[in-house]
C-alpha cells in the first residue's frame, strides 16, 4: 500500500492504481486512454456523483474554475484532465471517464499527491518545514539526471539512517514513502510525531537534496487529547475569558457611578425646590424688592376695618432705638 500521505482520511493507493504528483502552486495535467469513444466526458473527485462531479459535458473541451478537460482522438481515445494552481487540499482520489451517457461512462481512477515544495538544488539555504503532530509531509526533489536507486534517509544516507531504499518507482516502509515521476523523487512521512523533527535527505543515483523538519504539538487539538503541554494557542484561549471578565467588571463600575451621580443630582434638586417653596410661604416681596412681614388678623374684631395695617413712625423723637415699626390703630 502507498497512502496519499498528506491528509488523514484520504484513500490508500494500491500498486494497481495510478499515482500522480504535483507541487503546491503548480499545475497538474495527465492524459488517460480509453478503448472506445464516448459522447460524455466526466472529471470527478472520488466517485462521480453529486457535488463530486467537477465536469460533465459532451463538448470536446470544457472548463469549470480550476478544472478542465480535453478530448482527442488519435490512435486511441485520450481524455486529458488538468488542475491549475494546486493546493494541499487537492491531494486525493479522482476519476475521469468516457461513455455514451453520464451514467454509463467507463471510469479510470487515479490519485494525486501534492508536495509542499519542490527542491531543485538552486537554493543554497536549507529548506525548513514546520508541521504539527498527526499531520503528514510530502516533499519533491528534482534531479537533472535520472537514476535507478532511490533513497530516503534521515540525515546522511548510511546504515540505520536509510528509511526507504528501492529501484522501483514506488515504495513504502512503515510511515515513509517514495514515489518517482518524470525526474522528480517524492518522499513522504505520515502521522508525524515530535520525534520526527530533524534533517532528511532524498537521494537519486549520486545526487541528493536535504531539508529540515520541526514537529510541534497541534494547538487546538491539544486540549482534547489530554495533553498538558502549554502552547501559545492554549495561553491565548485562557487570556480571552480573563479580559472579558475585566471588561464586565469595569462596565458594572461605570454604570453604578452614573446611577449614583444621577440620584445625587435628583436629591439636591428636590432639596432646592423644597427650600424655595418654604421661603415663598414665609416672605413676599414689595415693588422695591424689600421683604415685609405678613400680618395674620386672627383676632380681628367686627368694629375694626379689614384693611392691611400700615407700619409707620408716630413719634420719631420719642421712638425707642430698637423700635422700627409701630402700629397705627384707627378708633371709632
Strand pairing category for 150-154 and 162-166: antiparallel
| Per-residue model confidence (pLDDT) at position 246 | 66
In angstroms, the CA 176 to CA 157 distance is: 15
Q: Indicate the class that CATH gives domain 118-223.
A: mainly beta
Residue among 86, 70, 89 nearest 8 (CA): 89
Q: Which three cell numbers stand for residue 177?
A: 514513502
Q: Which three cell numbers stand for residue 256?
A: 453604578
| Per-residue model confidence (pLDDT) at position 17 | 67
Checking if the pLDDT of 2 tops 90, the result is: no
When pLDDT is averaged across residues 70-79 and rounded to a whole number, the result is 90
Residue range 246-260, pLDDT digits in tens = 667 778 778 888 888
Residue range 3-41, pLDDT digits in tens = 333 333 334 444 556 889 999 999 999 999 998 888 999
Whether the domain at 2-114 and the domain at 118-223 fall into the same CATH topology: yes
In angstroms, the CA 53 to CA 103 distance is: 12
Alpha-carbon torsion 7, 10, 16, 21, what sign? negative
| Per-residue model confidence (pLDDT) at position 241 | 47
Length of the chain: 332
114 neighbors 179 (Cβ within 8 angstroms): no
| Per-residue model confidence (pLDDT) at position 265 | 84
| Per-residue model confidence (pLDDT) at position 225 | 41
| Per-residue model confidence (pLDDT) at position 189 | 96
Averaged confidence pLDDT in the chain: 77
In angstroms, the CA 40 to CA 27 distance is: 24
In angstroms, the CA 273 to CA 278 distance is: 9
| Per-residue model confidence (pLDDT) at position 132 | 95
The pTM is what?
Answer: 0.58
Checking if the pLDDT of 50 tops 70, the result is: yes
11 neighbors 92 (Cβ within 8 angstroms): yes
Give the number of other CB atoms < 10 A from CB of residue 130: 10
Checking if the pLDDT of 239 tops 50, the result is: no
When pLDDT is averaged across residues 63-70 and rounded to a whole number, the result is 96
| Per-residue model confidence (pLDDT) at position 275 | 76
| Per-residue model confidence (pLDDT) at position 279 | 61
| Per-residue model confidence (pLDDT) at position 280 | 56
2-114, superfamily in CATH? Immunoglobulins (2.60.40.10)
- Give domain limits for the chain: 2-114, 118-223
Q: How does residue 273 score in pLDDT terms, banded at 50, 70 and 90?
A: confident
Amino acid at each position: 500500500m502507498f497512502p496519499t500521505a498528506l491528509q488523514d482520511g484520504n484513500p490508500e493507493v494500491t500498486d494497481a492504481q495510478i499515482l500522480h504528483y504535483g507541487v503546491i502552486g503548480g499545475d497538474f495535467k495527465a492524459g488517460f486512454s480509453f478503448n472506445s469513444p464516448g459522447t460524455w466526458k466526466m472529471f470527478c473527485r472520488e466517485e462521480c456523483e453529486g457535488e463530486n462531479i467537477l465536469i460533465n459535458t459532451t463538448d470536446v473541451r470544457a472548463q469549470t474554475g480550476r478544472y478542465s478537460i480535453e478530448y482527442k482522438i488519435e490512435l486511441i481515445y485520450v481524455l486529458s484532465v488538468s488542475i491549475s494552481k494546486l493546493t494541499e487540499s487537492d491531494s486525493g482520489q479522482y476519476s475521469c471517464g468516457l461513455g455514451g451517457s453520464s451514467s454509463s461512462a467507463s471510469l479510470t481512477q487515479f490519485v494525486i499527491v501534492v508536495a509542499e515544495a519542490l527542491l531543485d538544488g538552486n537554493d543554497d539555504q536549507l529548506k525548513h518545514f514546520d508541521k504539527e503532530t498527526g499531520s503528514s509531509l510530502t516533499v519533491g526533489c528534482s534531479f537533472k539526471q535520472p537514476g535507478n536507486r532511490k533513497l530516503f534517509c534521515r540525515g546522511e544516507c548510511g546504515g540505520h539512517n536509510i528509511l526507504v531504499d528501492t529501484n522501483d518507482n514506488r515504495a513504502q516502509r512503515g510511515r515513509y514513502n517514495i514515489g518517482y515521476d518524470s525526474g522528480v523523487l517524492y518522499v513522504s512521512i505520515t502521522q508525524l510525531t515530535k520525534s520526527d523533527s530533524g534533517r532528511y535527505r532524498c537521494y537519486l543515483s549520486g545526487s541528493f537534496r536535504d531539508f529540515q523538519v520541526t514537529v510541534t504539538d497541534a494547538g487546538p487539538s491539544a486540549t482534547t487529547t489530554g495533553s498538558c503541554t502549554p502552547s501559545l494557542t492554549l495561553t491565548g484561549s485562557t487570556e480571552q475569558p480573563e479580559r472579558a471578565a475585566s471588561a464586565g467588571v469595569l462596565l458594572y463600575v461605570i454604570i453604578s457611578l452614573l446611577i449614583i451621580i444621577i440620584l445625587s443630582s435628583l436629591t439636591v434638586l428636590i432639596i432646592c425646590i423644597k427650600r424655595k417653596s418654604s421661603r415663598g410661604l414665609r416672605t413676599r416681596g414689595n415693588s422695591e424688592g424689600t421683604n415685609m412681614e405678613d400680618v395674620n388678623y386672627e383676632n380681628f374684631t367686627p368694629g375694626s376695618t379689614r384693611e392691611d395695617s400700615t407700619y409707620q413712625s408716630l413719634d420719631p423723637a420719642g421712638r425707642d432705638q430698637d423700635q422700627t415699626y409701630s402700629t397705627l390703630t384707627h378708633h371709632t
